[in-house]
Structure 1
Amino acid sequence: MNFNFLSPVSDLVVAHNELLSSQALGRKFKIHSLQNGMPDLDDVDIAIFGVLENRNDINYIGEEFQLDEIRKSLYGLFPGSWNTTIADLGDINKGESVEDTYFALKTAISILIKKKIIPIILGGTQDLTYANYRAYDNLMPMVNIVNVDSKFDLGDSTKPIKNNSFVGKVILDQPYNLFNYATIGYQTYFNSQEEIDLMDSLYFESYRLGQVSNDITIAEPVLRDANIVSIDLTSVKGSEVSLNQKYSPNGLDGKEICAISRYAGISNKVTSFGIYEYKPSKDDKITSMLVAQMIWYFIEGVNYRVNDDDFSEDRNYQKFITLVDSQELVFYKSNKTGRWWIEIPFLDEVNNKLKRHTLLPCMHQDYLDACNNKLPDRWYKAFQKNCV
């Protein structure tokens, strides 16, 4: 398999790994090293790789970075009772141009997903999410993206792509494959009113930091419906990270960002997971350990995936029907996991290419709200998108 654009994990990290306990996570990884070359991927379930691209940072001044500290922190953790095989494929270096890096990233993700391997991307700037999205062009007709971020990153799609404006390109560039875009943990004062209104008019989902911190479980149904999860480390509050990483006094705390990572892992639909905007600094231990723990929780989640959305057999679920303003709402509850879904009706007269989106993940609270004559917000937005 041609992965010649991936450079091996540094000798320093490989040597550090040899000194760890034989029970440590790094000792169980298949590692792309200078000495042993690219590992065989036949039985690999999850592949981690870095992308050392940050030239589209709006504040870029030529700085380089590497991911050694994250790897050291991750390798030193201990695995749970997992049954997944994990590989560390090394790094995609900066290409001649940013577009070259995008192409390499798109190619790597596409190859891995076709092999049923989940890529974990450790990034420079978050505009790499655009290349991640484009990797799905030939894989599936419609894609759901969840962005864990303090900003929407919509930007002006007519201008060159930057790390704060990649979503406009995702929405407007052909082919149009985006079905839903959701932002978790946005902070209102970092977003213009025009962007907030645009998110509403496109029926995209947005969850404010206060909502998420008040009840982290509201993120679970959104992540259960995602194909791509992209986390911007600037969504984490400044007190949780090292000097160069500090962005805002408010943000998600360590427990919340790890819970979100675990929800992403548990989701049966999530096929790629990226952590972006990593900025190393001299006192880097705390950020690298946080990123390592986020990866750990994502892998933990993948190990606890349960196929609970097969509603072809009655014994697998309970069905609940309720009326809201003469609109019949149909809910399903999995007997295996207790997770809930709501049916989205299809309009016969609409030429609809979203046949796979008949069931939308939701919460028990959505059912209780419907019983009190209140339409669930997620259902309303998905229904409106189906009408477009």
Structure 2
Amino acid sequence: MGFEFLQPVNDNVLAFREELSVQTLGKKIIVHSAEEGFPELEDVKIAFIGVLDNRGQLDEQRQHVHLNYIRKEFYGLYPGNWHVNMADLGDIQPGEAISDTYYLVKTVTEQLVKQGVIPVFIGGAQDLAYAVYRGYDKLEQMVNYVNVDARFDFGKEDESMSARSFVTRMVIEEPHNLFNYSNVGYQTYFNPQEEIDLIEKLYFDAYRLGEVCKDITLAEPVFRDADFVSIDMSVVKSGDSGNIVKFMPNGFDGKEICILARYSGISDKVSSFGIFNHSDTRQESVLIAQVLWYFVEGVNFRSGEFPFGTRENYTKYIVALDEEEIVFFKSDVTDRWWIDVFSNKIGNNKVKTTALLPCSYQDYLTACNNEYPERLWKAQRKNII
């Protein structure tokens, strides 16, 4: 199956693109147009795909999805000193049933990731993230999913699929490819205590909004270990997003959400990315375009540190606790830290990629204080159970 179901970029957007400076992104991105047809992907590293289906929001205020504003804002930006090739592949139209849309998103994800292309989905409702996750089913790998969201998006087992319940489907439905789920930016008053308890029970990771805003670098190792990252735009406070349709008085500010997008891009492991649940407004489109810009910049500055090809450019630290030693590695190039999981005698290691667990300098200091790093403890539990 090819990509014949993808609709070309809107003619209005293409006309806008024609008027842009030759130095802008719009003139550097290969575009799927009705006139030129579908682009060759041989040298493409990042592919943008719109998904115009938001039925999963189950909301009376649900708006029609079109991405013209976002495309115009993004095309009009100037690139940094970038070297990767990008393509805009157009849009996936809503299928007759929402399951049809899921199938198309899954197919695009599987084919692009297999080709070494990073799909970047700009969509309607965030339940589309489930379809992206399912795109890894035939790729024979476990998936670490990071959800930047004010809510965990769990639901009851018998609840129909929606933007508020799709993570439960990731956990319970076969094939069981979900190795870890991490939430960045949750706000406690939006999440039932039973869901907070479930995060602990499953040894998943969750970082409160205030915790991340106080020190945003705490989130970096989470993204470094991710395969798929999605952003629910309602995690950004309305004062910065411009979304007053669904008013959010608290959330990340514009700078913080761009930093998190850059962390996603710079991670050597992230192979798909998505932005969902945005309002169809010019105001929010400006921010989304800049979030996309920072993700692309991150991809351009990937250092190739994960997994290690060689350990020549790393300093090894051994911390002796009461009952065992913990081995850390610090990159001499980027100053990023890892814990050597195999050295710490984790039992039935399910996936080889967990041999080196991304961590922070703070985790190293925690071990130096004779305390067990929480990230290592959770990694052990997930491998043992």
TM range (shorter): over 0.9
Alignment match, 1:259: 259
How far has the Cα of 1:158 moved from its partner? 2.0
Q: Given residue 344 of structure 1, which amino acid in structure 2 is its aligned partner?
A: V
Note the 1:208-223 alignment, pairs <5 A.
208-223=208-223
CA distance in 2, matches of 1:262, 1:352: 30
Q: Given residue 329 of structure 1, which amino acid in structure 2 is its aligned partner?
A: I
Are residues 346 and 196 of structure 1, via their aligned partners in 2, closer, same or farther at CA, if it must alter by over 3 Å? farther
Alignment match, 2:248: 248
1:385 equivalenced with 2:382 (yes/no): yes
Alignment match, 1:71: 71
CA contact (8 A) 2:267 2:299 kept: yes
How far has the Cα of 1:18 moved from its partner? 0.5
* Partner SS state of residue 105, structure 1: helix
More divergent stretch after superposition (103-112 vs 345-354): 345-354
Note the 1:1-388 alignment, pairs <5 A.
2-60=2-60, 63-280=63-280, 284-309=281-306, 311=308, 313-345=310-342, 350-388=347-385
CA distance in 2, matches of 1:111, 1:245: 35
CA distance in 1, matches of 2:380, 2:348: 14
**Once the two structures are aligned, what percentage of the paired residues are identical?**
51
How far has the Cα of 1:69 moved from its partner? 0.2
* Partner SS state of residue 110, structure 1: helix
* Partner SS state of residue 305, structure 1: coil
CA contact (8 A) 1:182 1:205 kept: yes
CA distance in 1, matches of 2:346, 2:264: 35
How far has the Cα of 1:350 moved from its partner? 4.9
CA distance in 2, matches of 1:249, 1:62: 20
How far has the Cα of 1:74 moved from its partner? 0.2
CA contact (8 A) 1:333 1:341 kept: yes
CA distance in 2, matches of 1:382, 1:298: 27
Q: Given residue 160 of structure 2, which amino acid in structure 1 is its aligned partner?
A: P
How far has the Cα of 1:241 moved from its partner? 2.0
CA distance in 2, matches of 1:163, 1:17: 33
* Partner SS state of residue 81, structure 1: coil
CA contact (8 A) 1:227 1:270 kept: yes
CA distance in 2, matches of 1:144, 1:309: 14
CA contact (8 A) 1:54 1:60 kept: no
* Partner SS state of residue 88, structure 2: strand
How far has the Cα of 1:345 moved from its partner? 4.0
More divergent stretch after superposition (343-352 vs 158-167): 343-352
Deviation track 1:143-202 (CA, whole Å, cap 9, x = no partner) reads 000000000001113221110010000000001011110000000000000000000010
* Partner SS state of residue 48, structure 1: strand
How far has the Cα of 1:61 moved from its partner? 6.4
How far has the Cα of 1:204 moved from its partner? 0.2
CA contact (8 A) 2:327 2:344 kept: no
CA contact (8 A) 2:346 2:383 kept: no
How far has the Cα of 1:285 moved from its partner? 2.5
Deviation track 1:247-298 (CA, whole Å, cap 9, x = no partner) reads 3200000000000000000000000000000121xxx232001000000000
Q: TM-score w.r.t. structure 1 length?
A: 0.96
How far has the Cα of 1:373 moved from its partner? 1.0
CA distance in 2, matches of 1:347, 1:174: 30
Residue correspondences, number:
385
CA contact (8 A) 1:156 1:165 kept: yes
